[in-house]
Structure 1
Amino acid sequence: MTRIAYVLDAFPAWSETFVLNELLEMQRRGLEPWVFALDEGEQGVSHPGVDEVLPRTAYLGPRAGGWTGLLEASGALLTRPGGWMRTERWARALGPPYPWLHRATAPVAKRLQALGISRIHVHFGGPALRWAVLMARESGIPLSATLHRYDLFSRPLPELRAVEEGVDFWVTVSDFNKRFMTERLGLRGEKIEVLPCGVDTQYFSPAARVEVRSGKILTVARLAEEKGLFYLVEAAHQLRTQGHDFEWIVLGGGPQKEAVEDAIRDRELQGRVKLVGPGNSADVRRHLRESRVFVLPSLSEGAPISYMEAMSVGVAVVGTDVQGVPELVLDGKTGFLVPPRSGRALAEKIGYLLENPGVADRLGSEGRRHAVSNLSLRVQGGKLAGMWQDSRSR
């Protein structure tokens, strides 16, 4: 069986169902994914399928090397001095923290070889990528990496161009991202593949026996600055002022929870906007099936899976015209896009859909067709597996 090692910053995570779904899809394809995570992630994550992956999950942590790593590094220096020294020189050229990480990754690289891992893949260009490039260099196993949003626009590694030598190819989730990677970060366009993460269109599907609640609005998002949640509160205030009857459910947790709760109280919207905390995939699907409109007021986005899940269930979406979103949400066909930082613009489109359920149904049906044809997890997983295969045959 072909074994793939996923190196991740944390696993499992409430907001990264796309990683779990990709792991499960590769498993369905007859591959055997193993996870090497730097952190144990969040407590209580209960997404369906996570228990299937945890038995093949190892946690590295900041002290994974320790004395064992030093001994492994010494052994590698004695048994294959040429290869070890080449990696060591590369690590020193990259600068801190790579020389230390080279020692820490020695036992991990040895374990990858013992497992017969044929490919290393990383999601996000953060700390896990630093570990992975050295694990790949030390073990001789090819490496690919998917870059998303914050790891490009907010906190890109300053040494991305330098580590590109150790990356077989990059994957990113939109053409906008690819242009940013080449024009702003200086990465090589010929090494970049564009592939949005997929959605399980069988699991996230409409349900004939579930009645849509005419005034229910749903947002699924991490409660963080880039999600624009204060504009959500402003849009809710506008909708109430205009006389709309609605209930707005927000699924998610994050650092801005208390600030958003304060904004809801300041606008006296406690009975209209409800922060219900993080939810698993079953919670998201249930709420989507009951909702008339899905809303994401983001200030920055790559290609968020929450849009894909909403369209796959057949819910009309209202989002912001930022970065890669127009490639995912087809304005006027699968939903509406408005300028970011405008609660008034959000309220206008949401109110229109609440008043015109026939339009919302039409947009939702088009969104479902678009998701099945272009964003299916099975299709996207097959494309990624094909990229791995093509890379081996080059």
Structure 2
Amino acid sequence: MNILVISHMYPSDVNPVSGIFVYEQVMALRQQGCKVVVVSPVPFVPVFFELLNDKWKLIKNLPLKSNMNGVEIYRPRYFSLIKNLLFGFSGIFMFLAVKKIVLSISKIFDFDLIHAHTIIPDGYVAFKLSKYFDKPCVCTMHGSDINLYPGYGRISLAMTKKVIFGADQMISVSNFLKIKAEAIARPKNSIKVVYNGCDQKEFVFDLRSRILKRRELNIPVESRVLIFTGGLQKTKGIFELLGSFSSLFKQFSQAHLIIVGNGNDVKRVMKILSMEDMKNNVHLVGRQPYNKIPCFLSAGDIFVLPSYSEGLPVSVIEAMACSRPVIATRVGGIPEIVKDKETGMLVEPENVESLTKAILYLINNEQECAKMGSSGRKIVESGFSWEKSAERLTAVYADILKEAR
């Protein structure tokens, strides 16, 4: 099968971990025998934006065409709108930019179907392209496209409904998102759930990595260490985590917190840490190369993700693959993989007291931590690999192509 993937989320020099789950899925599809070409639209950067910071300059300098591990990637520029009442129009502007490049691609790559990631703007683009090229359209929803974007105004909601109703097949990364999407619009076919995965050979607990990473961060071997990986933004619960750790630190001065990631609220996080006694025990290491994440997870004892909303975060799957017990909020698809009191603990979002109580329980019960971590690894091994994800996807593709004949 020849698959054209549309995803604004895809690794690049600007952000090597952006849409890493899309990249991993593409690689797994190739292992299943699929040929894949990726179109990853990039915002158009006005000249004066380059003066604001280096990020915009890097975006502007991204090549229009490149090859990553055997996959051709096209990055057409489109006029991007901020995520407010006008966000719904982004799909229209993206389609106008993508259509031209896909016309060129179609002359050298006879794709069988189009697979978009996120409902808007990418799903809308795929929907329009499917009509133009008379090819089936598949769209995967990941989280924000259902949890947040429909609330950005009537246009965003209308676009979301159009894609859910019009796509030949909607795919969800969790049952939670499936149910929520079906409440917004009736899909053409029943929504399929295809879980994300992780590389279980790379994401595994490693004692040597644990020792070396703790030594590098100046964390004593006997310390109890929490770890967070993700975007540094309010909706990821980063401020609840800092508040909880501040309380925890007063009781356990040997406790440490590793924060891996970057985001819009990084300066606020740094400001909070500069005023707290715990600052020497909080290790803000920034965004890290993806292949280094298992080392950081191995260095930690407990993975914490107090998000306000989620689809089914890959970071949780990765932590469980590394045999780390998970403390996470009871939101989105998280309860579908984190079994309360079995593979970790579920807490309520925006609740520092509940979060602190769960952390204290696991810090005081090392044997329970080990048991939960082991159970989590078994769950990941049972059904959360990229190979299984690709197998399910190719089965979905085959069904859609059979219907289209």
Q: TM-score, normalised by structure 2?
A: 0.81
**Selected match of 2:293 from 284, 289, 300:** 284
C-alpha deviation, 1:264, in angstroms: 2.1
Deviates more, 1:145-154 or 1:51-60: 51-60
Structure-2 residue corresponding to 1:219? 228
SS of the aligned residue for 2:139 comes to: strand
**Selected match of 1:56 from 60, 72, 81:** 72
Change (3 A) 1:102 1:23: closer
What is the one-letter code of the residue matched to 1:110?
L
Tell me how far apart the structure 2 counterparts of residues 210 and 355 of structure 1 sit (CA, whole Å): 24
Deviates more, 1:355-364 or 1:187-196: 187-196
What is the one-letter code of the residue matched to 2:38?
V
What is the one-letter code of the residue matched to 2:176?
F
Structure-2 residue corresponding to 1:126? 120
Assess if the C-alpha contact under 8 Å between 1:136 and 1:166 holds in 2: no
Structure 2: gaps of 5 or more residues: 45-54, 60-65, 81-87, 151-155, 212-220
Tell me how far apart the structure 2 counterparts of residues 223 and 98 of structure 1 sit (CA, whole Å): 26
SS of the aligned residue for 2:186 comes to: coil
Structure-1 residue corresponding to 2:52? none
Tell me how far apart the structure 2 counterparts of residues 235 and 199 of structure 1 sit (CA, whole Å): 29
Tell me how far apart the structure 1 counterparts of residues 96 and 397 of structure 2 sit (CA, whole Å): 28
For the pair 1:111 / 2:110, whether they are aligned, the reply is no
Change (3 A) 1:164 1:294: closer
Assess if the C-alpha contact under 8 Å between 1:233 and 1:343 holds in 2: no
Assess if the C-alpha contact under 8 Å between 2:140 and 2:171 holds in 1: yes
**Selected match of 1:267 from 276, 281, 284:** 276
Q: Deviations over 1:228-261 (max 9, x none)?
A: 1110111111111112412211111110111111
Tell me how far apart the structure 1 counterparts of residues 93 and 380 of structure 2 sit (CA, whole Å): 44
Instruction: Within 5 Å, give how 1:202-351 maps onto structure 2.
Output: 202-211=201-210, 213=221, 214-351=223-360
Tell me how far apart the structure 2 counterparts of residues 119 and 219 of structure 1 sit (CA, whole Å): 37
For the pair 1:152 / 2:156, whether they are aligned, the reply is no
Q: Percent identity?
A: 25
Change (3 A) 1:105 1:166: farther
Deviates more, 1:138-147 or 1:110-119: 110-119
Structure-1 residue corresponding to 2:83? none
Tell me how far apart the structure 2 counterparts of residues 97 and 290 of structure 1 sit (CA, whole Å): 41
Change (3 A) 1:279 1:96: closer
Tell me how far apart the structure 2 counterparts of residues 269 and 317 of structure 1 sit (CA, whole Å): 22
What is the one-letter code of the residue matched to 1:199?
C
Assess if the C-alpha contact under 8 Å between 1:113 and 1:139 holds in 2: no
Structure-2 residue corresponding to 1:188? 187
Tell me how far apart the structure 2 counterparts of residues 63 and 262 of structure 1 sit (CA, whole Å): 34
Structure-2 residue corresponding to 1:37? 40
C-alpha deviation, 1:111, in angstroms: 2.9
Deviates more, 1:372-381 or 1:303-312: 372-381
Change (3 A) 1:344 1:337: same
**Selected match of 1:142 from 136, 142, 146:** 136
Tell me how far apart the structure 2 counterparts of residues 228 and 317 of structure 1 sit (CA, whole Å): 14
C-alpha deviation, 1:306, in angstroms: 0.3
Q: Deviations over 1:293-341 (max 9, x none)?
A: 1111111111000000000111111111112211121111111111111
Assess if the C-alpha contact under 8 Å between 1:244 and 1:351 holds in 2: no
C-alpha deviation, 1:196, in angstroms: 1.7
C-alpha deviation, 1:63, in angstroms: 6.9
SS of the aligned residue for 1:276 comes to: strand
Instruction: Within 5 Å, give how 1:30-109 maps onto structure 2.
Output: 30-39=33-42, 52-53=68-69, 56-62=72-78, 104-109=97-102
Structure-1 residue corresponding to 2:31? 28
Tell me how far apart the structure 2 counterparts of residues 145 and 22 of structure 1 sit (CA, whole Å): 14
SS of the aligned residue for 2:346 comes to: strand
RMSD: 2.6
Tell me how far apart the structure 2 counterparts of residues 258 and 290 of structure 1 sit (CA, whole Å): 25
Tell me how far apart the structure 2 counterparts of residues 98 and 251 of structure 1 sit (CA, whole Å): 32
C-alpha deviation, 1:165, in angstroms: 4.9
Greater Rg, structure 1 or structure 2?
Answer: 1
What is the one-letter code of the residue matched to 1:21?
E
Tell me how far apart the structure 1 counterparts of residues 255 and 91 of structure 2 sit (CA, whole Å): 53
Assess if the C-alpha contact under 8 Å between 2:79 and 2:94 holds in 1: no
Change (3 A) 1:54 1:263: farther
Q: Alignment length, in residue pairs?
A: 357
Tell me how far apart the structure 1 counterparts of residues 118 and 92 of structure 2 sit (CA, whole Å): 21
SS of the aligned residue for 2:119 comes to: coil
Assess if the C-alpha contact under 8 Å between 1:109 and 1:138 holds in 2: no
Assess if the C-alpha contact under 8 Å between 1:147 and 1:170 holds in 2: yes
Tell me how far apart the structure 1 counterparts of residues 385 and 400 of structure 2 sit (CA, whole Å): 23
Structure-2 residue corresponding to 1:82? none
Structure-2 residue corresponding to 1:70? none
Q: Deviations over 1:69-104 (max 9, x none)?
A: xxxxxxxxxxxxxxxxxxxxxxxxxx9677776654
Tell me how far apart the structure 2 counterparts of residues 329 and 133 of structure 1 sit (CA, whole Å): 34
Change (3 A) 1:303 1:344: same
Change (3 A) 1:230 1:208: closer
Tell me how far apart the structure 2 counterparts of residues 283 and 300 of structure 1 sit (CA, whole Å): 26
What is the one-letter code of the residue matched to 1:6?
V
**Selected match of 1:16 from 16, 19, 31:** 19
Deviates more, 1:339-348 or 1:140-149: 339-348
Tell me how far apart the structure 1 counterparts of residues 3 and 166 of structure 2 sit (CA, whole Å): 17
Tell me how far apart the structure 1 counterparts of residues 261 and 95 of structure 2 sit (CA, whole Å): 37
